[in-house]
Structure 1
Amino acid sequence: MNRVLSVFGMCALLVATAALAQDKATPLAKSPSATARVAAHAGDSNTAALEDAAAPASTSAAKLPVRRVVLYKNGVGYFEHLGRVRGNGSLSIDFNSGQLNDVLKSLTVLDLGGGRITGVDYNSEEPLARRLGGLRLPLGEQTTLVQFLGALRGARLEVRTGSGTITGRLLSVEHKTRATKDGQVIQYDEISLVSDAGEVRSAELGPATSVRIVERDLNAEVGRYMGLVASTRLQDVRRMTISTSGAGDRQIYVSYISEVPLWKTTYRVVLPSKAAAKPLLQGWAIVDNTVGEDWNGVELSLVAGAPQSFIQQLSQPYYGRRPVVPLPESVQLTPQTHSATLIPGHGKLSGKVTDSSGAAVSGATVRAYDENNNVVATASTDEEGQYSFQSLSAGNYRVEVEQTGFKKYVADNISISGGEESKHEAELAMGASSQSTEISAEAVMALPAAPMTKSKRGASGGIMGGLLSDARSDMMPVNAATIASARAAEQAAAQARELGDLFEYKLKQPVTIRKNQSALVPILQSEIGAEKVSLWNEGSGTPRPLRALWITNSSGLTLDGGSFSVLEDETFSGEGLLDAIKPGEKRLLSYAADLGVRIEGRSENQSQPVTRVQITHGVLIQHSELREKKIYTVRNEDTTARTVVIEHPRRTDYKLAPGLEPAETVAGFYRYRLVVEPKKTAELAVEEVRQLDTRYALTNLTDDQISFFLQQKTINPEVEQALRRIVAQKNVIAGIDAEIRARDAETQRIFADQQRLRENMKALKGTAEEKALLLRYTRQLDEQESRLEALRQEHTALEQKKLQAQAELNKMIEQLSVDSAL
């Protein structure tokens, strides 16, 4: 019972306090009547009064609705708000905590009616305990009535009970007990005040007791406390209030960027059942609204690009942080994406020109025109009426044939694929050359129609379906043609355009996406060119190739990266991933395993002997080749033909041998096309050449090396004679060096002997025998000095001779230039 009384007492106190806090701007004379009015109805309106007191000041501001949203692929969105304000009004926008930093970094606010923006404020992100610490009231988030009144100790209060009114300063709030007549113990709270006259008076806090704070400043502080406590109900909401100053009704424009989830792209490639039809590409965008408010009737644009953007914690204190280095992750990604074309391959076009009787027409002029109406190749037919064009880039061409006495022959839409030879026969009709016969050649679609079965799954992985029916008996069967017609009639809900380096899909109609909801929006509907192939790379580690579509983006739009699904005969055939594809770009998209084809590769290496010898600037260079042949064996066990695309590694130190050209060249690979008939085996041989060069300095060659070269047939007689002359001159210089060394050795011996004689002469005394020996040593020294003089002259002459021989050798080496094929 006492607990209930305490709760009611607390409610009555908070009601009175909140009312005074709201009316703090009203004149003092009106406060008692306002307080009395609220307190009198405390038992009926506690909840409403509490919420009024807790509401932040910004609730009086009108909401500023979002009108335009642009989503980018780097995880940010651009938002525009447009609303109206009157006079010195204010507007508010709700964000979540994750948006605030981006908003502070990019916010733009304009008053379009000539007014002025006086300020932008938002609620703090500091913890509630820290914000409460800034108040003069020592209160926490969870506060009881006794704790609340205890925080007001010393404040001037007015306590009203059923027996009267007590006014004074709060002394204490005590928890007491008393016994009833029947012996029960009742617990209650008692409040004690000290009056201005010094009298201490007490009253029991019960349901009929109300407490009013008389001090205006303390009332305002209690109002702030209640607002902070109420804000915990919306902990993740950051309400930004824009204050304005002006006259009349005006428009306010606000823009900013904010972190948003990446919009995702997903495609459906619908393969036709008719060979003449083109595949249909459908694109969808998945959009998530995770910001703080609903998008009601917004203009939505999706941009396939990633402007530079970053996160900066402007709303929080900044501290220096060390970088975080994540642990490495090992993830095997499936499915795969495939490289775009770097160098397109070249195809061939050949055929025969005949007259109406089938006889060959020789000397006819055949011209090939590209899609821009430029002549790219010209040829004349031979005696058998044959013509041939080499190295045509992949694409569609127009062929014209002219010959005197015949009408001009014109054939359009002749498709050339890289790495393949196409055939086109021309039949000339009799008539004037000013007349023409026009033929429209059908574009080759490498998408053969599969036989219609009801439950058989082919090697391509697609289930061939006949009629699609609902399980309910009251639904009529729907055939595949009806579904295909309905799909073709669909229209994309977005308009596409280039934005510099970016690409935008702008939705045609306003979009409504509620907060924390997502939407799937169609953005693309277009026919595309596609060829069904089997793609194999030896690095995959499996003999089974991947089923793939070699598409040409003929939609005229940039296809953003994302996932795609393949539907064939209204049945799921596989799915995969694609990178961004520009208009006109060609790309391989793999989506399933091809269980009907096996591929193996083997290598054959062959070292070629020296094929060429060069001598230049004193260096002998022997050129040889290392030829490596890679043979790919393809077995097709399926009942339909397969076009196999093999990715052969592209190595920097190897070049392709003349002959077979790749269909296209991508980063790290050559792509070759091979058609394999049903139940047949075919081979593709790719030969590469690596140039090997061996260098020898002519000054280091010896007769033995020259003999070895001759034995190995790595030099010819012409080169041998030139090398022999150089070696002979080297031998002359070597002989001179030997003579110089001999003179130097003799000089050193004489020096040593002279030293010995001088030492002996120092030891001799003045006897007759010693005098005779001294004379002998003197004559010997004199003879040695004469010999030393002769040796010096010979050494000088030999050095001069060596210099002349070396100069002659250098001249021989410099003038020797040989480039000889063996």
Structure 2
Amino acid sequence: MSDLPIRRVVLYKHGVGYFERETNLEGDQSLSLSFKQREVSDVLKSLTVLDLNGGIVSAVSYDSTTPIEQLLAEIALSIPDSGSLKGLLPQIKGARVSVKPAGGSAVQGTILGIDKTDARTEHGLEETHRLSLLTDAGDIRTFDLFDLELTLLDDGIKRDLDFYLRTQLASKKKDARTFTLFAQGEGKRTVRVSYVLEAPVWKATYRILLDEGEGSSPLIQGWAVVDNTSDEDWQDVSLTLVAGLPVSFTHDLYTPRYVRRPVVEVKETTGVLPPMAEAGVEDYEQAEMLTMGAFAEAAPAPRTAMMRKKLRGEGGGGYGGGGRKPESAVSSVQAQTRERQVGDLFEYGIDKPVTVRRNQSALVPILLKPFAGRSVLLYQKSARAENPIRCVEFENTTGLTLEGGPVTVLEQGSYVGEAMLDTLKPTEKRLVGYAVELAVRVLDNIDSHSDRVTRVTIRNGTLKTHYAEVQKTTYTFNSKSEKEQVVYLDHPRDDSHWKLVETAKPHETTENYWRFRFPLPPGTASKFVVQQQQTLFQSFGLADITDKQLAAWVSAKYLDKATEKALKEVLAQRQQVGRIEEKLSQLNDERNKIHAEQKRIRENLGALGDRASEKALRERFVATLDKQEDRLAKITEEEVKLRADRDEARERLNAALAKLEYDAPVLTEHAGS
């Protein structure tokens, strides 16, 4: 058990707890705390120690991570588990002690050793051990080892023995690490110690009570589930529960860190042989001087300014304080919490002390208040296609932030279902579903079709026809209930392109739904229609239009007369470019044929000999080649001119397309007449 009892516990929703201990002391004292090894880094990161009455805390020491063998390596002591006194005294041979045999006076001297002798008794020979002592008077005396009082007079050996025993004891507690706080001061004082450790999150759970009486508002009752997984009881502690998500992290401060230092090799010198004088020549060898740069002296670290916070009384300091008085509950049970907003955090402070035994959990009441709400139906096809869900239309009028958690719903004293409540700020509204309404069945019918083209735009050489895709959903609610009910209908809104048309205005819009609200009469079938549409378009590149496409657009009255005329000019320009491209293609085909023919003629020329009969054939081949070369030159000239004409026609086409802009609705036959 710690000599610093826990006085205050603050639990958070992100896996840590703030613990505050407090005790009274007088004069100089040391205080101890034990933690599990995995908790030490959190303690080192967050430990705060305050002497509230002017004293100081000179130091806080804690167990090292060094193995026990290494810790005891420098102490020349080893006490066996059996025969501890016989094993210890020979190891402190030469130590000054005071020996007081039974029935005798104390004698001071120096330990010589332990002697083992055999003594004859009525039971035969028995082995005995005697302590040999060199007294201060110079006598050597022996004493029965197990019939005396022995006091160590050597302070150094007493310190080593004390360290040895404490270290051995600590090693038996495999997972325990002890912190020792050294408090110095005069008179009676109060010391407060606080720290943050990993802790189970507290959980909220609620009860909603509907129809508790004629004209009464529904009630919400809240409980907090807290878990004490430590090895220490929380006895009459001040408990605070905080909702929020402050930043917290783990950081290893317990494991010693070492900086790798450079290794400087020692330059060894070998033994020196007697010199052998030789005949010399005048040659002087100069030794090379090695210089080392001076290390710049590190500047002293700046002293950290310690900011003293205003100390508050019980319930103050850190999160979880607050001076609000308990508020009266609606029922005969007094409210046991006080609430306070701390930035983005919200805390529930339990007014009365709480006791939670080690390795146990507890339910702590935190809320009992009326709220604005009623029982309604919610239909979401994705949740359940056949029936709506019965919900509590919950408006948080409690004035508190309600942390998320499970809800059990009771109606007229009977259990009717369960739900999950998201975190709710004051005045927020939420539909909390808790049961399936089997007395109402729902059918939905979806009709989807594409509507006519409503608008045509021309821009950047592209014509777009805009048309509407219409989706009409008819919901049929068949109610077998005997009373009128309120229905909320969640209709999916897949993306921002869909717009409602010829439909009642939604009661509200959520991230994924349009939410409609309407009454549902008893014992009848009711229909609700949701019609939505989105505008789509089809694109056509005007540089590639055909006579047939243009004629279709004109027939559908997509264009006015001026735009029709401009498009006909564009079509004429495009056709002119097409004719030039066709001529260029024909010339290219002709060139390829000539090249193939020339290749054949050259192969034939290579096969002819020097005979007179072959001379005429050779001349005819050569004449043909001359004509073909003339034609190839002509083709090149024609291509140059055609490419220039094509580029000019393309420029005129692009200029005409760039100037062409159009944006107008497509009128129906009735509107145009």
Alignment partner, residue 417 of structure 2: 574
Alignment pair present for 1:605 and 2:430: no
Find the partner of 2:197 among 255, 258, 263. Answer: 258
Secondary structure of 2:516's match? strand
Residues 639, 129 of structure 1: CA spacing in aligned structure 2 closer, same or farther, 3 A cutoff? farther
Secondary structure of 1:670's match? strand
Alignment partner, residue 353 of structure 2: 511
Q: Is residue 106–residue 257 contact of structure 1 (8 Å, CA) maintained in 2?
A: yes
- Once the two structures are superposed, residues 539-586 of structure 1 have per-residue CA deviations (whole angstroms, 9 ceiling, x without a partner) of 335634332112111222211112223232233333322121011111
Secondary structure of 2:331's match? helix
Alignment partner, residue 74 of structure 1: 14
Find the partner of 2:460 among 613, 617, 642. Answer: 617
How far is 1:106 from its partner?
0.9
Alignment partner, residue 298 of structure 2: none
Distance 2:558 2:429 in 1: 50
Task: Please report the RMSD computed on the Cα atoms of aligned residues, expressed in angstroms.
Answer: 4.7
Alignment pair present for 1:150 and 2:87: yes
Alignment pair present for 1:667 and 2:511: yes
Secondary structure of 2:87's match? helix
Find the partner of 2:253 among 308, 311, 314. Answer: 314
How far is 1:195 from its partner?
6.7
Distance 2:626 2:173 in 1: 120
- Once the two structures are superposed, residues 744-766 of structure 1 have per-residue CA deviations (whole angstroms, 9 ceiling, x without a partner) of 55566667778859996998989
- Once the two structures are superposed, residues 421-477 of structure 1 have per-residue CA deviations (whole angstroms, 9 ceiling, x without a partner) of xxxxxxxxxxxxxxxxxxxxxxxxxxxxxxxxxxxxxxxxxxxxxxxxxxxxxxxxx
Alignment partner, residue 191 of structure 1: 129
Distance 2:343 2:439 in 1: 45
For 1:588-599, list aligned pairs within 5 A: 588-599=431-442
Alignment pair present for 1:136 and 2:73: no
Find the partner of 1:558 among 401, 405, 422. Answer: 401
Alignment partner, residue 18 of structure 1: none
Distance 1:605 1:780 in 2: 72
- Once the two structures are superposed, residues 184-231 of structure 1 have per-residue CA deviations (whole angstroms, 9 ceiling, x without a partner) of x99x6633666769x9999988xx734747573555444444445555
Residues 736, 171 of structure 1: CA spacing in aligned structure 2 closer, same or farther, 3 A cutoff? same
- One-letter amino acid of the structure 2 residue matched with residue 691 of structure 1: T
How far is 1:622 from its partner?
2.2
Secondary structure of 1:589's match? strand
Alignment partner, residue 208 of structure 2: 269
- One-letter amino acid of the structure 2 residue matched with residue 266 of structure 1: T
Structure 1 unmatched runs, 5+:
1-58, 320-484
My pick for the range that moved more, 126-135 or 627-636, is 126-135
Aligned pair count? 584
Q: Is residue 159–residue 167 contact of structure 1 (8 Å, CA) maintained in 2?
A: no
Residues 744, 108 of structure 1: CA spacing in aligned structure 2 closer, same or farther, 3 A cutoff? same
Alignment pair present for 1:809 and 2:653: yes
Alignment partner, residue 336 of structure 2: 493
For 1:96-115, list aligned pairs within 5 A: 99-115=39-55
My pick for the range that moved more, 569-578 or 720-729, is 720-729
Alignment partner, residue 350 of structure 1: none
Secondary structure of 2:538's match? strand
- Once the two structures are superposed, residues 79-134 of structure 1 have per-residue CA deviations (whole angstroms, 9 ceiling, x without a partner) of 34455554433344455555433221111234455544321123457777776677
Alignment pair present for 1:524 and 2:372: no
Distance 2:339 2:90 in 1: 69
Distance 2:437 2:207 in 1: 20
Find the partner of 1:547 among 377, 390, 402. Answer: 390
Residues 570, 780 of structure 1: CA spacing in aligned structure 2 closer, same or farther, 3 A cutoff? closer
Q: Percent identity?
A: 33
Distance 1:789 1:96 in 2: 98
- One-letter amino acid of the structure 1 residue matched with residue 204 of structure 2: T
How far is 1:698 from its partner?
1.5
How far is 1:730 from its partner?
1.9
Alignment partner, residue 308 of structure 2: none
Distance 1:738 1:576 in 2: 75
Alignment pair present for 1:282 and 2:124: no
Secondary structure of 1:532's match? strand
Residues 656, 250 of structure 1: CA spacing in aligned structure 2 closer, same or farther, 3 A cutoff? same
Alignment pair present for 1:120 and 2:71: no
Alignment partner, residue 699 of structure 1: 543
- One-letter amino acid of the structure 1 residue matched with residue 183 of structure 2: T
Q: Is residue 85–residue 91 contact of structure 1 (8 Å, CA) maintained in 2?
A: no
How far is 1:669 from its partner?
2.8
Residues 194, 701 of structure 1: CA spacing in aligned structure 2 closer, same or farther, 3 A cutoff? same
Alignment partner, residue 407 of structure 1: none
How far is 1:732 from its partner?
1.9
- One-letter amino acid of the structure 1 residue matched with residue 402 of structure 2: L
Distance 1:88 1:748 in 2: 112
Distance 1:717 1:555 in 2: 65
- One-letter amino acid of the structure 2 residue matched with residue 578 of structure 1: L
How far is 1:530 from its partner?
1.0
Q: Is residue 115–residue 132 contact of structure 2 (8 Å, CA) maintained in 1?
A: no
Distance 2:628 2:172 in 1: 119
Distance 1:86 1:276 in 2: 62
Q: Is residue 149–residue 173 contact of structure 1 (8 Å, CA) maintained in 2?
A: no
Find the partner of 1:821 among 666, 669, 672. Answer: 666
For 1:474-489, list aligned pairs within 5 A: 488-489=331-332
For 1:16-95, list aligned pairs within 5 A: 63-93=3-33, 95=35
Secondary structure of 1:488's match? coil
Q: Is residue 77–residue 91 contact of structure 2 (8 Å, CA) maintained in 1?
A: no
Distance 2:28 2:249 in 1: 35
Secondary structure of 1:590's match? strand
My pick for the range that moved more, 797-806 or 122-131, is 122-131
For 1:240-251, list aligned pairs within 5 A: 240-251=179-190
Distance 2:362 2:476 in 1: 49
How far is 1:683 from its partner?
2.8
For 1:746-765, list aligned pairs within 5 A: none
Distance 2:636 2:253 in 1: 90
Residues 596, 98 of structure 1: CA spacing in aligned structure 2 closer, same or farther, 3 A cutoff? farther
My pick for the range that moved more, 758-767 or 188-197, is 758-767
Residues 195, 558 of structure 1: CA spacing in aligned structure 2 closer, same or farther, 3 A cutoff? closer
Q: Is residue 99–residue 291 contact of structure 1 (8 Å, CA) maintained in 2?
A: no
Q: Is residue 134–residue 140 contact of structure 2 (8 Å, CA) maintained in 1?
A: no
Alignment partner, residue 209 of structure 1: 147
Distance 1:118 1:243 in 2: 6
Distance 1:558 1:100 in 2: 34
Secondary structure of 2:453's match? coil
- Once the two structures are superposed, residues 652-683 of structure 1 have per-residue CA deviations (whole angstroms, 9 ceiling, x without a partner) of 26513312333222233333334322222223
Distance 1:758 1:168 in 2: 126
Alignment partner, residue 21 of structure 1: none
Q: Is residue 545–residue 593 contact of structure 1 (8 Å, CA) maintained in 2?
A: yes
How far is 1:699 from its partner?
1.7
Q: Is residue 394–residue 431 contact of structure 2 (8 Å, CA) maintained in 1?
A: yes
How far is 1:233 from its partner?
8.4
How far is 1:238 from its partner?
4.7
Residues 253, 180 of structure 1: CA spacing in aligned structure 2 closer, same or farther, 3 A cutoff? closer
Q: Is residue 107–residue 257 contact of structure 1 (8 Å, CA) maintained in 2?
A: yes
Residues 809, 291 of structure 1: CA spacing in aligned structure 2 closer, same or farther, 3 A cutoff? same
Q: Is residue 533–residue 645 contact of structure 1 (8 Å, CA) maintained in 2?
A: yes
Residues 779, 270 of structure 1: CA spacing in aligned structure 2 closer, same or farther, 3 A cutoff? closer
Q: Is residue 79–residue 87 contact of structure 2 (8 Å, CA) maintained in 1?
A: no
Alignment partner, residue 479 of structure 1: none
How far is 1:651 from its partner?
0.9
Alignment partner, residue 585 of structure 1: 428
